[in-house]
Amino acid sequence: MRMPSSTGWRTAWVAAVLALLSGPPPATGGDRASVPFAEPADPLFLALYPRMDRVSGLSPVAEPAVAAGRAAPRAPHGDRCQPGFCIAQPVTKDWTVGGTTYLLAAFLVTTDSPPGVNVPCYDPEPWACVLEKRGGDPVPIDCAPLKQEIVFADGPSIDTAPFRLNEDERAFGVRLRYTTAWRTRNETPEALVLFRFHERRLSQILAVQMALAEEEFGQGECSRELALSVEKVRTAGMFDWTTRTARKTGTLPCALESGTYHWDGSQYVRGGARRRREVP
């Protein structure tokens, strides 16, 4: 499976925003008051963004400080842009690996406009970070942006299920979802983005759609979920992974792609020809 380019997911984000503007608002709403934002003085985000304003919560750069060395930091530009960036909908979770407990963080970097509002100079971007607690203070180790076909704006969640890479190593996941409402239908997809934390470096190894709920007004609805399972077969020393239908309800097809993924040395890719399975 080839990871989508940054241009691809940004195009998908713009398409999603345009879809929102052309129809009724999503069920989650777009009011800033309904969007959870990181507390400006949160030690975790001050560690990632040392220049964050402790009152407004605005940061002059979008990238976490720990990851800024891997790419040139972006900054707001243009008269119509906001004065800085905010951390929207942050979630954290402890993750113990090899006897060490790390702090995982997933969040959406946006302007001080709420997620879903079209800001001409900046595309909201989701990030994942790994931190270590030393003396009670979070210390950033590494961060990576979440790259996928669609950027979902609704609250992320961190999944620490045993996504086994081999006998000694496992990945962790971030789940993202977004509800889009048109005049005749609603659609809510959910993506799972998996990360490998190896030799204190964080890298994305898979992004796959795992759930889809659709409602056609007057025609019916459907909800379909996939489950990811670890196989005994190995490729390049790593277990293969397979996605299969776990639950299906409703009368509509609610099609989702499923298949087997193999390790190519740096990430998981789909094996064989792409295929689409539908459950009537």
Question: pLDDT tens for residues 8-65?
Answer: 333 333 333 323 223 333 333 334 556 788 999 899 999 999 999 999 898 888 899 9
Q: pLDDT band for 79, please (50, 70, 90 cuts).
A: low
Contacts of 153 (CB under 8 A, 6+ apart): 28, 89, 108, 115, 116, 124, 178
Q: Are 127 and 109 in contact (CB under 8 A)?
A: yes
| Residue 75, in any domain of the structure | no
| Number of residues assigned to the chain | 280
Identify the domain containing residue 27 by its residue range.
6-69+82-277
| Residue 1, in any domain of the structure | no
pTM above 0.75, yes or no: yes
| Residue 122, in any domain of the structure | yes
| Residue 76, in any domain of the structure | no
Q: Can you list the positions of beta strands (E) in the chain? A: 86-97, 100-110, 125-134, 137-145, 157-164, 170-177, 180-181, 185-198, 201-216, 220-235, 238-250, 256-257, 260-263, 268-270, 276-277
Indicate the range of 76-85, 107-116, 157-166 predicted with least confidence. Answer: 76-85
Instruction: Please tell me the distance from the alpha carbon of residue 47 to that of residue 64, in angstroms, as a whole number.
Output: 9
| Residue 200, in any domain of the structure | yes
pLDDT in tens, 201-228: 999 999 999 999 999 888 899 999 999 9
With a cut of 50, say whether residue 274 has pLDDT above it.
no
| Residue 107, in any domain of the structure | yes
Domain count, the chain: 1
| Residue 119, in any domain of the structure | yes
